[in-house]
Structure 1
C-alpha cells in the first residue's frame, strides 16, 4: 500500500493505492494521521478509489483513522471506494458509520459543512 497526501484549506486529503492488508501496512498511515492531528488538522478526506483489496486489518486501520479524527473533534470522509471495498463496507455495516462520497469536491463540501 502507498499513500500520498496534501493539506488544503485545513483539510488533509489522502490518496491510498494498492492493498490495505496486515497491521504493518496501515502503521505508516496512522502515524501520518497522528502527525497531522497533532498539528491541528482535524478533518480528512481519504480517497480509496485505487484501494484494490482490504482485509480485517485494513478495516481496523480505517476505523482507527475515523476514531482519531472524531476524538480530535473532526471527521473522516471516504471517497469512492472500489466495488470490492464497497461490498466489504456494506457487509460489515461500516457504510452506516462512515460518510462515503463520490468525489473529492463532495468530500470537501461535506467536511466544511460539519
Structure 2
C-alpha cells in the first residue's frame, strides 16, 4: 500500500493506494497520521478511492483513526471509497458511523465548519 499525506487549511489529507489489509501497512498509516497530530490537527480526510481490497484489520485502523480524531474534538471523513471498501463499510454497518464525501471538495466542505 502507498500512503501520501498533506496538510491544507488545517485539514490532514491522506491518500491510500493498494490494499489495506494489516501490518505493516496499518502500522505505517497510524504512524503517518500520528506524525501529523503533533501539528495540532484534529481534522482528517482519508481518500479510499484507490483501495482495491480492505479486510477487518484495515477497517479496524480506520475506526482507530476516527476515534483518535473525535477524541481530540475533531472529525474524519472518508473520500469516495472504492467498491470493496464501500461494501465492507456497509456489511459492518460502519457506513452509519463514518461520514463519506464524494470528492476532496465535498470533504473540505464537510470539515470546514469544524475548522472555523
TM-score (norm 1): 0.96
Taking the TM superposition and a 5 Å limit, the aligned residue runs for 1:5-24 are 5-24=5-24
Aligned-pair CA distance for 1:97: 0.4
Partner of 2:87: 87
In structure 1, what is the Cα distance between the partners aligned to 2:47 and 2:22?
19
In structure 2, what is the Cα distance between the partners aligned to 1:111 and 1:33?
17
Pairing 1:44–2:40 present: no
The number of residue pairs the alignment matches comes to: 114
Report the secondary structure of 1:73's partner residue: coil
Task: Point out where structure 1 has 5 or more consecutive residues left out of the alignment.
Answer: none
Task: Point out where structure 2 has 5 or more consecutive residues left out of the alignment.
Answer: none
Aligned-pair CA distance for 1:34: 1.3
Q: Which shifted more, 52-61 or 25-34?
A: 25-34
Taking the TM superposition and a 5 Å limit, the aligned residue runs for 1:27-42 are 27-42=27-42
Aligned-pair CA distance for 1:24: 2.0
In structure 1, what is the Cα distance between the partners aligned to 2:37 and 2:72?
7
In structure 1, what is the Cα distance between the partners aligned to 2:63 and 2:24?
15
In structure 2, what is the Cα distance between the partners aligned to 1:69 and 1:38?
12
